[in-house]
Structures are given as structure tokens and as C-alpha cells.
């Protein structure tokens, strides 16, 4: 019975493969276990623990769910949380060496700092832009000589020879100037970390108008609000026997720094598992004949470590909240359709 419980809750890492990778979150898989859906049991076991939060990154644990739900949540973050991105580029003048099509593509991938929840989807792509569905920028730059400097460094020789996102100027449409204050709408990177768009030489210039609309990553990757959204199962490392002396030092080198620590007990070195969360799943320890039978590597099947890195458009905690709302809406729609078919 204990072995069956382990198969149901752990994925085991072997030297040349994995065991217990199939899903068991449905009734009838194992005799003596009631795996039928129980909302009270789910609410008791499910929890979310935030481990790290910065301006652009969020790491949290989602515990007590099946892999299908975790993956649905990840896919929603990638492709269904809306953002604002440049959709159309009106090119009045482009004498740079970058072709119009390449330039428009580069502009489309620039993250725009604007809350998409304050805008509507543009229903008709050919309709005139309005304050409710469009953001407009102007990019007008001309490179000239700098008569006060000489030498070979382009930064001294030329003015405005590097066109970056800090040159993008927001042009309010309709009543937007009264709705949004200075800095509410801008490229995410518009300061010292501005994104390079093109390089010019004297006589070359860009004269563009950029139109941003609301969209989702399912339509185009430029609308995806995250740079990365991934998860992994919580590592679990079990020492089957005490490992001491030089063997303990050898074991420590098989894992990432911080996973295995060595304690000095009565003058003897003894290995212990300090932080299995830092394990990179290399399985290096299983290559050594003197160690592979002393260590057991597993992953907790229902414990997911999520990492979400925002592109800077919205804080990562807001993106996670939005993804949860979208998943809940999908569930309600499915429930409603099932009720209507009865």
C-alpha cells in the first residue's frame, strides 16, 4: 500500500529514464483509493505560496493540483492575457538602411507601458482609431553632424544617430490627455535602458506614426505579456543511508550549489539535504556506482514551482491574477454549456 501511495504522489528519476509519469488524478486507477473529485478535499489541500516577488519576476508554488490545470494556467499566461502592442505603422519617411517591413516588425515587438484593462478591443481594423481602442506614438528623428566634435566615435560625431524607444512620443487621441497623466503611456524601456530601433547617419531620417491596439498572444507573440512563464515539479532528494567522509564531498559536487551541505559531527563529515529546491535535475549522482544506490531522486507530483517574468507592461502579480480570472471564466462557460445540454 505504501508503494502504491508513492507511485500516486511521486515521479521517480532513474539513470536512463523516469517512472510514474502517467496521470493518476481520476477514479478507478488503484484499488482501495477514492480518487473521485471532492471539492472539500481539494480546498483543504490546495494552496499558493509566494516565494519571491520583484518588479518583473514572481516565483510561487501552486500545491495540490493536477498537471493539466497547471499547464492550462501557464498557457493562459502566454497567450490569453491581453496587452497593448504596435499593430500598424504609417511610414512617411524612412531613409535608414532598414527595410520598411523589418522596421515595422521591430517596432511591433517593443513592449508598451499601458494598462490594457482601460482599453477595448478594436472591432474593425479598418476603422479610424479612437481614444477607447488605440494608442498613438510618433517617431520622428533625423541624424545630423555634430560640428563641435571630431574623431572616429559616432557618439561624438553625430547627433541622434541611435534611434531608441526614448524617441517615441505619445500623441493623445481624443480625451486621452485628460484620462492619463504623464508617464502612464510610454514604451516600457524609455530611459537609460532604451531599446535600440535603428542606427542613422547624417542625412538619414525616420518619420513614422505608430498605432497600438489591444490583443492577445494567441493572435501574435508581440501581445504576450510575459518573457517567460514556466513551471517545474518540486525536487525531492532522499539519502537512503548515511553518507560520510570523502563520499559526502563527492555527493555534494554532484548537485547544484546549496542542495547538499556537509556537517562536521564529532570530527566526521556527514552529508545532508539542505535545499532540494535548488536541484537542477541533472541526475549526475546516478552516474557514480558508489553513490547511485545511496540516493533516491523524486519529484512531488502535485507541487508546481511557477516562475513568471513580465515584459514590464504589467506587474507579474497582476498578470497571475488576470490569468486566474480568465481560467475561472472558462470554467464557468463550460459549466453553463453543460447545464444547457441536459
Is residue 74 located within the same domain as residue 103?
no
Q: Model confidence at 9, in pLDDT bands (50, 70, 90)?
A: confident
Strand order across the beta sheet in which 168-171 lies:
83-94, 205-215, 135-142, 168-171
pTM of the model: 0.85
Q: Are residues 207 and 141 in the same domain?
A: yes
pLDDT in tens, 135-189: 999 999 999 998 887 778 888 889 999 999 999 999 999 999 999 988 889 999 9
Q: How far apart, in Å, are the Cα atoms of 263 and each of 113, 260, 280, 292?
A: 50, 10, 22, 21
Which one is predicted more confidently, 32 or 201? 201
How sure is the predictor about 2, in pLDDT bands with cuts at 50, 70 and 90?
A: low
- CATH number for 197: 2.170.120.12
Mean pLDDT over 266-292 rounds to 91
Q: Are residues 88 and 219 in the same domain?
A: yes
Position 253 in a domain: no
Strand partners, 145: 158
SS3 16: coil
- End residue of a domain, out of 223, 256, 283: 223
Q: Are 87 and 211 found together in one domain?
A: yes
Inside any domain, residue 232? yes
The domain tally of the chain equals 2
Residues 75 and 198 grouped into a single domain: no
pLDDT (average), residues 298-317: 94
**Is the same domain home to 201 and 143?**
yes
Q: Rounded to the nearest 5 degrees, what angle is found at the Cα of 312, between the Cα atoms of 308 and 313?
A: 105
pLDDT value at residue 21:
78
Residue 255, number of CB atoms within 10 A of its CB: 24
* Domain around 168: 83-223
Contacts of 333 (CB under 8 A, 6+ apart): none
In a domain, 286, yes or no: no
Question: What is the pLDDT confidence band of residue 253, given thresholds at 50, 70 and 90?
Answer: very high
Going by C-alpha positions, the residue among 75, 35, 44, 40 that lies closest to residue 229 is 75
List pLDDT tens digits, range 137-150.
999 999 999 888 77
Q: What is the pLDDT of residues 27-85, one digit of tens each?
A: 666 666 777 777 888 888 899 999 999 999 999 999 998 888 899 999 999 999 999 99
Q: What is the mean pLDDT of the chain?
A: 90
Cβ distance 237 to 309 under 8 Å? no
CA nearest neighbour of 318 among 55, 126, 139? 55
93 and 212 co-located in one domain? yes
Q: What is the DSSP letter of 129?
A: P
Amino acid at each position: 500500500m505504501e508503494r502504491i501511495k508513492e507511485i500516486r504522489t511521486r515521479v521517480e528519476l532513474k539513470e536512463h529514464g523516469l517512472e510514474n509519469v502517467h496521470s493518476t488524478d481520476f477514479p478507478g486507477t488503484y484499488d482501495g483509493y477514492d480518487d473521485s473529485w471532492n471539492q472539500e478535499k481539494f480546498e483543504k489541500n490546495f494552496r499558493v505560496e509566494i516565494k519571491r516577488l520583484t518588479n518583473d519576476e514572481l516565483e510561487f508554488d501552486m500545491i495540490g493540483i493536477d498537471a493539466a490545470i497547471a499547464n492550462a494556467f501557464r498557457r493562459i499566461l502566454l497567450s490569453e492575457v491581453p496587452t497593448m502592442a504596435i499593430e500598424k505603422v504609417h511610414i512617411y519617411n524612412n531613409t535608414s538602411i532598414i527595410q520598411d517591413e523589418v522596421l515595422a516588425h521591430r517596432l511591433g515587438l517593443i513592449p508598451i507601458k499601458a494598462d490594457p484593462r482601460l482599453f477595448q478591443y478594436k472591432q474593425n481594423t479598418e476603422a479610424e482609431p479612437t481614444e477607447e481602442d488605440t494608442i498613438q506614438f510618433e517617431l520622428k528623428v533625423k541624424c545630423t553632424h555634430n560640428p563641435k566634435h571630431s574623431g572616429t566615435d559616432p557618439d561624438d560625431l553625430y547627433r541622434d544617430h541611435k534611434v531608441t524607444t526614448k524617441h517615441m512620443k505619445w500623441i493623445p487621441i481624443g480625451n486621452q490627455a485628460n484620462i492619463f497623466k504623464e508617464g502612464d503611456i510610454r514604451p516600457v524601456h524609455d530611459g537609460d535602458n532604451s531599446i535600440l530601433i535603428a542606427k542613422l547617419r547624417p542625412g538619414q531620417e525616420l518619420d513614422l506614426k505608430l498605432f497600438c491596439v489591444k490583443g492577445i498572444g494567441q493572435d501574435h507573440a508581440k501581445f504576450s505579456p510575459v518573457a517567460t512563464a514556466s513551471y517545474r515539479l518540486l525536487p525531492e532528494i532522499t539519502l537512503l543511508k548515511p553518507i560520510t567522509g570523502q563520499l559526502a564531498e563527492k555527493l555534494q559536487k554532484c548537485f547544484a550549489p546549496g542542495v547538499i551541505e556537509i556537517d562536521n559531527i564529532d570530527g566526521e563529515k556527514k552529508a545532508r539535504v539542505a535545499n532540494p529546491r535548488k536541484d537542477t535535475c541533472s541526475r549526475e549522482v546516478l552516474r557514480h556506482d558508489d553513490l547511485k544506490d545511496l540516493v533516491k531522486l523524486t519529484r512531488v507530483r502535485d507541487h508546481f514551482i511557477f516562475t513568471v517574468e513580465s515584459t514590464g507592461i504589467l506587474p507579474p502579480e497582476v498578470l497571475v491574477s488576470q490569468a486566474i480570472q480568465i481560467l475561472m471564466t472558462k470554467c464557468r462557460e463550460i459549466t453553463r454549456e453543460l447545464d444547457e445540454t441536459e
